[in-house]
Every structure is written in structure tokens, then in C-alpha cells.
Amino acid sequence: MLTVTIIIGAILLLLGIIGCIVPALPGPPLSFLAVLLLAIVQQFAAPLTTNTIILLAALTVAVTALDYVIPAAGAKKYGSSKWGVWGSIAGMILGALYFPPLGIIVGAFLGAVGIELLIGKQGKQALRAGWGVFVGTFLATILKLSAAFVMTYYFLKTVV
């Protein structure tokens, strides 16, 4: 049973790391599922104690939520209007639905730029808002990868 759990967990961890880069896969939740599965099989023995699993679950929820907030915050920081931020969110959702996996990044960028142009901003200002979305998306990806690697560390520490 442990060998099967380790194999399934390793696959989930790999998919989790890939999912941090490819928006179509939920990276941190897949990584969390790997450590949760191992913790259950190991009966929550150290280092995957109940407290550790609760902390990793909180990390997963926080990182997943921030993955949607950070790109919009980046747009706002780079001069996007409230409407541009909403455009980036709408573009991100539509991009994810119609053009995965890169649709999230491209959709968020185009949504911010498009709305900014529609409300009368000049091209350079609209592109700056789109750049903010790109920077925010990049930072969110780094955050997701960090969380996935923390969970990979705990998985390996338990197995080895």
C-alpha cells in the first residue's frame, strides 16, 4: 500500500509542479493531495502530522486565492482603472475557458488592455496596465511553485 501511495503521490506532485506553470491544472491543490494521501497512509506520523497538514491546507487555499488576486493587483499598481482590473479578471476567466492553458495570461492581458482602450486611455497607458497583469501573473506563478516545492519537501522528507 505504501509503495502505491508513493507512486501516486509522486505523480500528483509532478502534476502539481506542472500545474503551477500550466494554468489548466490546479498546481498547489494537486501537491496538497499528494501529501494528504501520504499522511493518511502514514497515520499522520511526523513530519506529516495533523498540524502540518492543516498548515499546508491553509497554504494551498491562500496561494490558490492569491493566484486570482495578484494579477489584478499588478494591473492596478501599473495604472489600471477599476474597469481595467475587472477586464483582466473577465479576460482571465474567458481565457481559461476558451484557450487553456495560456489563455489565462493572454486573456488577462487582453482584457485589461481592451477595457482600458474602451474607456479612453491611450495605447501606452493601456499596455502598461496589461504589463501589470503579466507581472502579477508571473509573481503568482512563483508563489504557486514555492508552495508546491514546500509540499514536495515534506513528501520527500516523509518518504526518505
pLDDT at 81: 86
- pTM of the entire predicted model: 0.80
C-alpha cell, 46? 511526523
pLDDT at 47: 97
Domain range spanning residue 38? 2-159
pLDDT at 5: 96
Contact 132, 112 (CB under 8 A): yes
pLDDT at 73: 87
Mean pLDDT, contiguous 10-residue spans, the chain (160 residues): 96 96 88 98 96 99 94 85 85 84 84 94 92 87 96 97
Is the omega angle on the peptide bond into residue 101 within 30 degrees of 0, that is, cis?
Answer: yes
**What is the number of domains present in the chain?**
1
